[in-house]
Amino acid sequence: MTPALKKIRFLSIVFVVCVFLDQWTKELVLRNFYLGETVQIISGFFSLTYVRNKGAAFGFLHSAPESFRAPFFLAVPVIAIFVLGYLFYQLKPHEKLSAWSLSLILSGAAGNLIDRVRLGYVVDFLDFYLPAWGHWPAFNIADSAIVLGVSFLFVQSLFAKKS
């Protein structure tokens, strides 16, 4: 198998697994929770709470006019997916951590884009309370994939050889 086919196979596997888990868990929430419902899993720390996010991370632009928000949150992920795909295509075979990073970010962007196209908002449901910081904004599997991918890129940049 050529290096290019190996890369495509890797991206495809990560993409399918992440998007499937993201969409499956969101569908479970949509079928079993009413908006705002909370089920406590670990008292004082973790709950499942059905939230509709019409903005970006942490509700950014949540209150922007719908005439701006809808096209913006459809266009930006599509552009990001193409840019990430191009960056992934440019990776060398030895750049494994970058491949993981870009695959996770791309998968997360796609998972949230599917929600926006299908529902007009993103389904969030993972709800943590951290005593020192209070309530953390609810998030989902796609958001987790994006954060994990960005974290991998950050760690990689810390240990990159200076040329």
Check residue 76 and give its pLDDT: 86
Assigned domain for 96 exists:
yes
How far apart are alpha carbons 97 and 41 in whole angstroms? 33
**Is residue 141 one of the residues assigned to a domain?**
yes
159 located within any domain: no
22 is catalytic: no
User: Considering the domain boundaries, does residue 160 fall inside one?
Assistant: no
Q: Is residue 108 part of a domain?
A: yes
Residue 161 belongs to a domain: no
Contact between residue 81 and residue 116 where contact means Cβ atoms under 8 Å apart: no
The answer to whether position 158 is within a domain reads no
Closest by alpha carbon to 101, among 25, 153, 56? 153
143 catalytic? Reply is: yes
Which residue has better confidence, 47 or 2?
47
Residue 93 domain-assigned (yes or no): yes
pLDDT by residue (tens digit) across 76-98? 888 989 999 899 899 998 889 99
Query: Domain range spanning residue 64?
Result: 3-153
Between 32 and 53, name the one with better pLDDT.
32
Number of alpha helices (DSSP H) and beta strands (DSSP E) in the chain: 4, 4
- Which is more confident, 28 or 62? 28
pTM, full prediction:
0.88
Q: Which of 22, 115, 127, 143 is catalytic?
A: 143
Number of domains within the chain = 1
- Flag whether pLDDT at 163 surpasses 60: no
